[in-house]
Amino acid sequence: MATMDKKNVSMNDVAVAAGVSLKTVSRVINEPDSVRESTRDKVHSAMEALGFRANFAARSLKLGRYGCIGVVLFHLSGGAVDMIDGIADAAEERGFALTMIKKRAGEKMTLAEAARRMSQLPVDGMIFNLRQMVDDFDTFEAPKDLKTVIITPMEHPTCSTVSDDQEGGARMACEYFLNHGHKNVYFVSGKKESLSSQCRMKGWRAALEARGIEPPEPLQGDWNADSGYAAGLVLADKPDCTAVLAANDCMANGVMMALRDKGLNVPDDVSVIGFDDELYKTIPNSILTSVKFRHRELGIRALNEVVAGLEAPSSRSRTLVSGVLVERSSVRDLRA
């Protein structure tokens, strides 16, 4: 039928319409300066008229690269938004798009499985966002020709890794307490399987032990306010408890509410520090001092690391992005 158009307009169609060769059309796209202006205009008109759009597959096939970075989300949490934001912005800036796959709820995805799936997709390199332990972490070997960066606090034997310095952040918070004259610091953890929680706990322990202080038994939470509240009720009964480090702000708020309900004041009676600095969004005039990680920066670094390693996939590096202590008034100075 006359109305039955060919589905896709190719460079060849454009070339014919413009009365030039295929290669000239290619040049108009890739090296326009090497084409005379009059020719360029003809080609542009033809492209416009036919509605030409370059074919990604053909182009990639010839070039041997895709201009895409794969992102595997093993876990999608609040902080992940900002991280993805950073990855996406950095990718954009460097002319890359992102190809994304996600571990499905309930599914148990290994690194090897993730790598296998990713390597079937259009990617030049990949980023794994891994916030929980995974079975094959230590034995995993990335494809030799596909730069792989893992966002995780653990060190990996062969892959580059990028992480917030969670341990350092926790240490910083603890030292802040100690430098303000506190003799001990209690800790409320997040979910057991979370690497963030584990690292924060580790930093807390290390900071105390470095001063010769025996860390008290940590209280187990689950990230939500109610678990912090429960912990707070327990802590309110401990006479030696002047400082509490909670593994996130929501639990810190729970702790503070429990203390208040028990007749204790923050910071006069007990000082509290949280993590993530997000309480101000929900609580008016929030006083909570908090350790904030720069998730956006983390994403940017991860992407840059991948791009930098595209030519040398087997290179290996370790990047730590430091946290920041956002000071408010939930910590009392016991000195003097």
Partner DNA sequence: TTGCGAAATGACAACGTTGTCATTTCGTTA
Partner DNA sequence: TAACGAAATGACAACGTTGTCATTTCGCAA
> Where along the sequence are the contacts to DNA (CB under 7 A)?
8, 10-12, 19-24, 26-27, 29-30, 33-36, 38-39, 52-55, 58-59, 61-64
Show the site string, 8-27: x = touches a second copy by CB under 8 A, - = not.
x-------------------
Q: Rule CB under 8 A: say whether 280 interacts with a second copy.
A: yes
CA gap 63, 61 in Å, rounded: 6
Q: Least Å distance between CB 309 and a second copy?
A: 16
Query: Residue 207: which H helix or E strand, with range?
Result: helix 195-210
Q: Contact between 159 and a second copy (CB under 8 A)?
A: no
Q: Cβ of residue 257: shortest distance to DNA, in angstroms?
A: 59
Binding string to a second copy for residues 117 to 156, with x set by CB under 8 A, is what?
A: --xxxx--------------------xxx-----------
Q: How many CB atoms lie within 10 A of CB 323?
A: 25
- CA-nearest of 321, 310, 276, 297 to 84 is 297
Nearest distance from C-beta of residue 208 to DNA, angstroms: 56
Shortest Å distance, C-beta 112 to DNA:
20
The secondary structure of residue 194, as a DSSP letter, is: B
**Span from 42-50, 89-97, 161-169, 316-324 in contact with a second copy (CB under 8 A):** 89-97
**What is the smallest separation between the CB atom of 42 and a second copy, expressed in angstroms?**
21
Token pair for residue 238? 């401990």
Cis preceding-peptide flag for 267 (omega within 30 of 0): yes
**Residue placing its CB nearer to a second copy in the complex, 315 or 317:** 315
Local structure of residue 132 (DSSP, 8 states): B
Q: Which does 215 bind (CB under 5 to 8 A by kind): DNA, a second copy, none?
A: none
The Cα–Cα gap between 79 and 94 comes to 23
Residue 220: which residues within 8 A CB-CB, separation 6 or more?
A: 188, 189, 192, 227
Q: Compute the half-sphere exposure of residue 54: CA atoms within 13 Å on the CB side of its CA.
A: 14
Residue 240: which residues within 8 A CB-CB, separation 6 or more? 183, 184
Cα–Cα distance, 148 to 142 (Å, whole number): 6
How many alpha carbons lie under 13 Å from residue 29 in its C-beta half-sphere?
15
Which partner in a second copy, DNA, none is near 237 (CB below 5 to 8 A by kind)?
A: none
Closest separation in Å from C-beta 307 to DNA: 19
**Contact positions vs a second copy (CB under 8 A):** 7-8, 51, 53-58, 60-61, 64, 66, 68, 71, 73, 76-78, 80-81, 84-85, 88-89, 92-93, 97-102, 104-105, 119-122, 143-145, 223-226, 228-229, 249-250, 253-254, 257-258, 279-286
